[in-house]
Every structure is written in C-alpha cells, then in structure tokens.
A and B are shown apart, each in its own frame.
Chain A
Amino acid sequence: MKTKGMAFVVSLLLVLLLAACSTDSASEGGSSDGENVNETGELTIAVVPKLVGIPYFNASEAGAIKAGEELGVNVIYTGPTEADASQQVSVIEDLISRGVDVIAVAPNDSDSLTPVLERAREEGILVMDWDTPADPNVVDLSVNQIDDFEFGEAMIDKLVASMGTEAGEIALLTGGLSAANLNTWLDAVEEVVADKYPDLTIIQERIATNERQQEAYQITLDLLRANPELKGILAVSTPAPLGAAQAVQERDLQDSVSVVGSALPTDSGPFLEDGSLDAAILWNPEHLGYLTVYLAKELAAGNMPQNGDVIAGEIGPISVDGKKVIMGPPTNFVADNYQDYDF
C-alpha cells in the first residue's frame, strides 16, 4: 500500500511537470511565422519577452512587428505564458534549433539564461537583451528603455511631490523579488531616499506581488490596515500600481495615500481619474519593441549604434555606452494626458 501511495505521488509530480511543459509549448504556436527560417535568406530576428499575453508585452510586440514590416526583416515574437525562467530557456532552445540570426531576450532571471545564451553564440547567433539586462558577458548589445537610476529617482521624486511631504512611511511594491530591472530601480529608489529624503521610512523592505494586479490589491489592503500612517506607495511592474490604486480606491484613501508606479496609461486611466493613482511613469513599450528590432538589424549588418541617434524620427535620442543602449527619459502619465496614448 505504501509503495502504491509513493508511486501515486511520483506520478502526480511527473504529471505536474508535464503540465508545466505543456503550457509552455502551447505558447510557442502563437506567433511563429517561418518554420524553415534559414531557407528564406531574409534576416530573422527573435524577440523573447518575459511572458506573452500581458498588455505591456503586447504593446512591445506591436512595435517589434511594425519594425519588422517597415525594415523588411522576419520578426518572431514568442515567449513563455508565465514569467518563468526555465520555460524561457526552452523557448530559446527552440529558437536556436530553428536557426534564427538574432535573439533578443528580456530575461526573467538573468543567471539561469547564461548557459543557453552562450550556446546560442556558439551557434553563431547574435545575442541581445532588451527590457531587462542579461549577463553582460553573453550579450552583444543591451537595449535599455531607461537609465535605471534616473527612472528610480523620477518615481520617488514624483511620489514625494504627490504626498506633499518629505517625511512619513512609504511602502515599495514590486512584481517579483528576483526581477533584475525592478530590483535596480528599487535600489535607485532606496539610494535616493537615503540621500535626499532621510525622513522617509520604507516599511517592510520590498513587497512582492507576483506580477498580478489581484495580489497587489490584496496585499495593499492588508498594508493599509496594518499601517494607518502610510503616506505613499511606490509600485514597480505594470500590474502592481493598478492593484495598489484599486485598494486605495476601495478604502477611499485617495487624499491621504499617494500611489506612483510604472503602469501603462490606458490601464491606469480609471485610477488616474479619481486620484487613487497619482501618476504612472513609464517609457513607450511600442518604441522599445521597435528599437530592439531596429538595433538587431543594424547589429547583424555590423553597425553599432551611435550616441544621439534618433530612430524612425521619434525614438530617442538614444545614448550609447559601450554595449549598453538607453532609449531615453521616462514619460509621466497623469490624469490630463493618459488619453493621448493607445497602449
């Protein structure tokens, strides 16, 4: 009986493993457009987001596809359905066997991608990262949306301005504790707080919300309950500010608690309107997708980008430091201007 139970548990685990694989392979069918990429003779650029099917990466997909059409290159935009490092590895392995020319990836976990990216380079594939940096030793070019420090500083400055005071308790919400770019921004935020706003207290370090609006909502409700003195919430990752704003809205605390974060303007609209979200600060994800494909094409042709380049007449001027490219300063989306954007 005992071995039978054991066998059941083991098979259960195996099946769960299978489930993990199957969801991942399901995602790859979605946006493939070129089975035998090598025979077309055209340049094929694979852009891998952290996950597919969230508004932010849908917007960058639109930009990448648009660039592909305008620049005459094949663009494959594919990624895991969950922000999962191992699923992303297998997506990249598939892309290597399909023989693409360039892989640009937004890593869920930069370290776990290093071996597979090394293999890609051995196969003669150019490797780039975008959105989130990978291990700098394995990439030929790194596309950053923003200067991380500048972005962190912009968010905390905006939060302090919305709070109207430089003293009090604030909370930091993040999408996930292992996301490199989110951590870099929060590092910057913490540094700025220590230097510029010493009277601000950050409660409970960084609070993870698993890239989910609902979890951010639930956690913020608890936070507001536990910390009646809370004055501000700074939330990074696109769903987190919305969840935090929703909780503030639910408790009718729009006037006493400020929320600032990195969110998309259309999603933020309802919360910006009633003041539960004070400002969404972000770059244009469509531009980021476009820029990634543009730079990939240039890289394949052997051209490195130059400081001050403006792409497609509206992206940039970019700044270049060695392999690192930065798209430009962030945009503030507030109640007055969010309607001007369609992502």
Chain B
Amino acid sequence: MKNILKTKELGIGAILLLVCIIITLINPVFLTADNLADVLKANAVLGILAVGMTLIIITGGIDVSVAAVTSAVAVAIGHLMLYLPDHPVSLVVVFAAAVFAGTLLGMINGFFIVKFSIPPIVVTLGTLSIISGALLFITNGNYMSGANFPEVFTAFSKYEIFGISILIYILLFFSLITWGILKYTVIGRSIYAFGGNSVSAVRVGISMKKVQYFIYGYMGFLAGIAAVTQTAYIRAVDPNGLLGFELTVIAAVVIGGASILGGNGSIAGTLLGTLLLGVMQNGLILARVDSYWQNLVTGTVIILAVSYDHLQKKRIDAQTAQIEVK
C-alpha cells in the first residue's frame, strides 16, 4: 500500500525531473537557487488555488469562479489598504479581511450547490459571471499601483526567511495544512469517500452537505490567501490580471493526476502539476525558445506527462488486481 502511494505521483515527477534536466543542459542558470526560488514565487498563487481545487475535484465537483473570487478579494484589499495605517496590525487586518471575504464568496457557491442541488459547474459559472461583471463595472479595469499601499505591506511582500520569499512559505504552509486535512481528519477522508462513490458515502453516514460546504468554503478561504499573495507578488492590483486563470488552476490539478470525475487526487500530485507548468514557462524563456514555439512545446510536454502518468497508474492497477486474484 505504501509503495503504491509513493508511485502514484511518480509519472508526473519523472517527467518534471526530465524537463528540469533538459533545461539545465541548455541553460545551467535554471538550476541556480535564485532561479528555482523565482519559479516557486511566481507560481505561489497558482499552487495555493490548485491545492484548494484538488479537494473539490476529488469530490467530482469543480469551481470555475476561483480566479474571479481571487480578483475580487484582491481589489477589496487593495482599496482597504488605502485606508490602513503603516502598522504591523494592518497586515493582520488585510489577511483577516481577505480570508473573510474569500470564505464568504466560497460559502455562497456552497450554499447554492447544497441547497438547490445545482451542479457545481453551473453555480460557479454563474458566480464567475456575476463577480467578474461586477468587478469590471466597479473598477473599469483600472490598475491600482502598489505605491499607495502601506509600507508594512511592501516590506511583507519583500520579506525573506533564509533567502526564500515569504510567499513560498505561504504556499508550503497551506499545502501542508491541506495535506493534513485530507489525510488525518474525518472531513478529509469523507472527501475521498464522497468522490469515490457518493451513494455509499451517504450510506455510511457521511453528510454530503457538510463536505460540500467545507470544500467550497475552504476554496474561498484559500482564494483569500491567494489574493493577498497575488497582491504581494505584483505589488499592484490588476482586476483583469487573473482573467481565465481558473483553467490553469484546473490544469495544474488534472496534470497532477487528479481525476476530473472524482475519487482521485493528491496534494503532492497537484504541487507537481503546478511545478511542471511553472518550470515550463520559466524554462522555455531560459532555453531561449521562440515565442511561436512555446505553446506547442508546453502542450506536447503536458500530453506526454499525463499519458505517462496514466500508463503508470494502469500498470499499478493491473498489478494490484493480480495480487487480489491470487
């Protein structure tokens, strides 16, 4: 059992390693600590959102409103910061407000999904349209420059521990928490059970409502965290900056081995999926690949990675089946 768990992410990990080796051979700059830190920092937002999305996809659901929720929270805290004094407490206020607003928006998704049993994709598409429409109306798409943010926020965004940006620690921290939830808590095991077979899950006494409220609320919570991370990363608020980003988030989760039909998926896999996307973007520039070819290369690597991953899984499944027969 332990071996299987270990090999589950092997396929995607192997491809990632291969890509890293090839890029390093072309341009050794890739394998410098600074560059790897760049990759992680640039993909912290993607990672945080993808981790939350993993829980939803494991249950067979989907949330296409994540990018819009993140943008909405970013705009909200951007405006909030114009009124906050330059004091460490302001940071706490920003985080609290972001998490509150995000969770609230996530709970609204959860409410419609649970209360009216509307398929998640329909509900979240609706909230996606509403939120992005409202955002465009309110902001008119104008950037907010970070020049007016409190000094303490700028300092926070540049803060490093052992030379590694705070944003990377945020990603690692919430990945670890989410991994813990999935592995060691009742709700975490319920998420897997629910995605594996919702009818049996209900029969053994798992509350469908509770699980769904939790995952969509938690997604909103992480979107709030992602909004702070995003604002810290670009030190500005761009209401259009994440338009269409939900597809990248879902891609990271699916590349990481989660099944869009539910029941399958892991935090480690999702992080590897996120890394693969991030490494590709960084690596193609480092390898000086012409823009015209970049999308083609990215697409090819993704298909290779996912095919290899699925082959690997099939082999493992075949082996386990054999053992059971014997």
Contact = CB atoms under 8 A, between A and B. Distances in A.
Interface string B288-321: 1111101000000000000000000000000000
Given A58-B142, A203-B288, A205-B292, A225 B29 contact: yes
B143 A267 contact: yes
Given A53-B140, A214-B238, A226-B285, A221 B244 contact: no
Contacts of A115: none
A225 B35 contact: yes
A22 B292 CA distance: 30
A322 interface: no
A122 B26 CA distance: 55
B180 to A, nearest CB: 30
Given A55-B142, A270-B145, A22 B288 contact: no
A26 B238 contact: no
B42 A221 contact: yes
Interface stretch (B7-15, B130-138, B266-274): B130-138
A274 to B, nearest CB: 10
Interface in B116-131: 121-122, 125, 128-129
B290 A22 contact: no
Interface stretch (A11-19, A38-46, A303-311): A11-19
Contact of B285 (A54, A207, A212, A242): A207
Residue of A18, A27, A212, A225 with most chain B CB atoms under a 10 A cut-off: A225
A19 B125 contact: yes
B272 to A, nearest CB: 20
B261 interface: yes
A54 B128 contact: no
The prevalent SS among residues of A at the interface is: helix
Given A55-B142, A58-B141, A214-B238, A225 B38 contact: yes
Nearest to A9: B260
A23 B132 contact: yes
A15 B122 contact: yes
A177 B291 contact: yes
B234 interface: yes
Contact of B291 (A54, A82, A205): A205
Nearest to A57: B141
Nearest to B247: A16
Nearest to A228: B29
Contacts of A262: none
Interface in B135-165: 136-137, 139-143, 145, 147
Nearest to A219: B285
Contact of A22 (B38, B129, B141, B286): B129
Interface of A: 5, 8-9, 12, 15-16, 18-19, 22-23, 26-27, 30, 52-55, 58, 81-82, 177, 203-208, 212-214, 217-219, 221-223, 225-226, 242, 246, 267, 270
Interface of B: 27, 29, 34-35, 38, 42, 62, 64, 121-122, 125, 128-129, 132-133, 136-137, 139-143, 145, 147, 234-236, 238-241, 243-244, 260-261, 281-282, 285-286, 288-292, 294
Q: Would you list the 9 A-B pairs with minimal beta carbon distance, nearest first?
A: A53-B141, A222-B285, A226-B286, A214-B241, A26-B133, A205-B290, A53-B136, A270-B147, A208-B291
